[in-house]
Amino acid sequence: MSALRHELMKYLQLRRSLGYKLRRTEKLLQQFISYLESEGAKTITTEHALAWSCKPVDTGSNWRSDRLSVVRSFATYLQTIDVDVEVPQRDLLPCRPRRASPYLYSQQEIAALIEAARTLSSPLRVATYQTLIGLLAVTGMRVGEAIGLDRGDFDIRHGVLLIRHAKFNKTRELPLHETTVTALRRYLARRERQRLAAKSPALFISPAGTRLLYCNVQWTFQRLVRHAGLVPRTRSCRPRIHDVRHSFAVATLVDAYRDGVDVQQRLSVLSTYLGHVNPARTYWYLSGSPELLGRAAERLERCGGVTR
């Protein structure tokens, strides 16, 4: 193992101890070190970092900026032990703001996606994606959390899911509605009939008996989006699987306003359920729904917060 790769392992170990997963970061930095080795470079220079970050040549500014940012962070760490390491400046490859507008799914659109899963190639894939999409819709889980579930994480007796190793290595329990428990129990029964089911501890499995891969789930979801006839609302508002989580959050808060309950209390519970570090991270969902903003304004006006 080269000196750079050895330092990379120490760098990743340090940052992961702080709660970061860094799967993509590790992949990119391994590729970058391979590039340095092919160029005969012994350490990181700004010239090499820029050249690698701009590969391939037909990529956009955000792609290049992301790659340089990954290298820059590693270079900053390395410079503490090797003064010859060059740390690229922040503004060498600027990127454009790119936060996507959430695509808020209606109940009818979620139903259409679940129905579209019937077109998948095998009965197990049909059951897997129908159950997965349904679970995301009623819990707001992150996709990575859902596909990371093991069978033992589902407590059938008490109707609870255990989310382990979530963002920042947090662990939380999600109480489920009885209909969700029934759906998961039904999926497990279907799963166990699969010949290779015992091969993996994963709750959701592929026809090969392996844990679902994030990239494959993304690809399959986009196929279902097209089959369901869902189209982008704007250039920045496209149906993504992560937006099922946004939709759950917004619907929860809309229901709170509609039912006249304490919205701040509901927001605090929602933040915990979603696995946010603090409620402030949940507030961003407020800006994604005109209905939610309208109900908030109505509540404020009724309480005398707005005068005409």
- pLDDT digit string, tens, across residues 149-194: 999 999 999 999 999 877 767 889 999 999 999 999 999 999 988 8
* Amino acid 94: pLDDT: 81
CB 105 within 8 A of CB 120: no
Position 99 pLDDT exceeds 80: no
CB 245 within 8 A of CB 136: yes
Q: What is the pTM of this model?
A: 0.68
Position 138 pLDDT exceeds 60: yes
User: What residues are annotated to the active site?
Assistant: 142, 167, 242, 245, 276, 285
Position 103 pLDDT exceeds 50: yes
Share of the chain above pLDDT 70, in %: 87
pLDDT in tens, 106-129: 999 999 999 999 999 999 999 999
Tell me what the mean pLDDT of segment 84-111 comes to: 85
Beta strand ranges found along the chain (DSSP E): 154-155, 160-163, 172-175
pLDDT grade, residue 306 (50/70/90)?
Answer: very low
Extract the tokens encoding 136. 């995301």
pLDDT grade, residue 307 (50/70/90)?
Answer: very low
CA dihedral sign, ordered 225, 228, 234, 239: negative
How far is Cα 182 from Cα 261, in angstroms, rounded to an integer? 28
How far is Cα 11 from Cα 79, in angstroms, rounded to an integer? 12
Extract the tokens encoding 102. 């959430």
pLDDT grade, residue 294 (50/70/90)?
Answer: low
Tracing tokens 């679940």 back to the chain, one arrives at: 114
* Amino acid 253: pLDDT: 83
Tell me what the mean pLDDT of segment 266-293 comes to: 71
* Amino acid 298: pLDDT: 63
* Amino acid 283: pLDDT: 66
Extract the tokens encoding 199. 């091969």
